[in-house]
Structure 1
Amino acid sequence: MKQPAVDAVAINRIIEMAWEDRTPFDAIEYQFGLQEKQVIALMRREMKPSSFRLWRKRVSGRKTKHASRREVQGDRFKCATQKLRIYRSSGK
């Protein structure tokens, strides 16, 4: 799977967003162009194996990591660097 070119600052931000409970993979894809499988591959490559396993256990099955499965949309605080305006306008 081909990964888009991202710099070290972007990698750190992607990892940070992936660890956040309320940041959906769709937001990472919108902001950085990485699909969920690519984020998982990036996390596996950039993290220690034990940290990766902890993260995978944490996000597996979590509704908040998938915008289409979330119950509440747009009512939570969002970081200024997190671009989620697309969800409000598209009705997702």
Structure 2
Amino acid sequence: MTQTITLSEEDKSRVIEMAWEDRTPFEAIERLYGLSEPEVISLMRASIKRKTFNNWRARVSGRKTKHLKLRSKDVSRGYCSSQYKAVRKR
């Protein structure tokens, strides 16, 4: 029996954002939102344009950082080192 998970629009948006991020593994999405990798793929297929979905699938299919078991031990954070740099106010 398949369990249906209902997400708010805000949560759907965040799941899509996390799915696009190279360093966010599917396991993190599952832990936070209860969606397995196939469920994330289904959500992406239903939520974005076909060509965009195909580009996303091609992108994440070859990424070792999207799966914790394939990920290098050197990758210890879920974001790029330059992603959250502080901006100096002038």
Task: Give the match for residue 75 of structure 1.
Answer: 76
Normalised by the length of structure 1, the TM-score is: 0.77
Matches within 5 A, 1:1-92: 2-72=3-73, 75-76=76-77
Normalised by the length of structure 2, the TM-score is: 0.79
Query: Is the CA contact (8 Å cut-off) linking 1:59 and 1:65 kept in structure 2?
Result: yes
Shift of 1:49: 0.5
Partner deviation per Cα, 1:54-91 (whole Å, 9 max, x = no partner): 1000001311000111112663265xxxxxxxxxxxxx
Query: Where in structure 2 are there 5+ consecutive unaligned residues?
Result: 80-90
Provide the secondary structure at the position in 1 that maps to 2:55.
helix
Task: Give the match for residue 81 of structure 1.
Answer: none
Give the whole-Å Cα distance in 1 for the aligned partners of 2:34 and 2:74. Answer: 22
Q: Which of the pair has more CA radius of gyration?
A: 2
Give the whole-Å Cα distance in 2 for the aligned partners of 1:20 and 1:69. Answer: 16
Give the whole-Å Cα distance in 2 for the aligned partners of 1:64 and 1:22. Answer: 5
Give the whole-Å Cα distance in 2 for the aligned partners of 1:56 and 1:15. Answer: 12
Provide the secondary structure at the position in 2 that maps to 1:23.
coil
The aligned length equals: 78
